[in-house]
Structure 1
């Protein structure tokens, strides 16, 4: 009888503790800004790493295979996703957070249908619409921001873009962006130096520390 009573108390205690130990769920939030004029560029505490991938084969796959949690947020170009399905499966198996990397901002000035097509392709591969979107050059023209707002996808810029060489000093709440493109590409040696230079946290931890820093872009 005593064993039953003790077991019951333990179960009740676990049930009562669960709601208080869970962090706020970022995935339940789709609009972190109040209007499409804003993009998110910083949090308030810690450092977050984001990596833009549109080019790379075996080298990228090997880097992903050796990644340890907490993982960076990977912004993936959909043409790259289609070319390397095995690497994409590895990303999914490791449960690495992903977001949608678009074309340079100029491509969306008169063509918001381009975004819709990219969102559909992303959802087909990953089973859900992305929470985050970034253009390849971090230029967010107004028609694009409006389309993102209507699609319930957040525009995420960065505090700084790291292109290799000397590692920048730590700034609280920073969101660092690293390019892995054909024309602009950080070496994996430099990327390792950056990752070893400070403790990186998941993007939601940096943003929800809180407050989110916004950059207002005029129409």
Structure 2
């Protein structure tokens, strides 16, 4: 397990640098070097109180399995990782942090969004594109390439098996509190409620010139 100051939504990418001895040991114990580049899987949970370095933090119990690619590793075990969130889980039992954080977990099932849910998501996406167009045009920039890039991200086959609601959240939701709310919501309607709150906040900040 890797407790962090941010949550990892399925479909989101997260760069990590491993330098603490306990996590260097975790990589050594679980590294799969049968492929190139080497990979490792571990759970990511948000720290609700405390700090990433040193231990003793209070952790959330709902997190995400990260599929991590090792992009660089030094002889002393320090490493650079590029992680992608895959599957939500709930911690059943925290084990002793010996030699690194460990837990027993259960996978959380994902309910497929209905046509009504997808219609709500499409409306949110329309609001996002409109906001981005206004912001970029106000700055004298062409919004076309940015909007096109978002379409390419949406079509990434590497995340095709992940809920479209999570994929959308992965590129829009940046605050750990909101990311955790998404992770802890099992119902697509509840997930969309969180995204609607996030979108309304972005629109409000844009109206007052702070975004």
Shorter chain as denominator, the TM-score bin is: under 0.3
Structure with higher strand content: 2
Task: Please tell me whether Structure 1 or Structure 2 has the larger radius of gyration of its CA atoms.
Answer: 1
What is the TM-score with the length of structure 1 in the denominator? 0.23
- TM-score normalised according to structure 2 size: 0.24
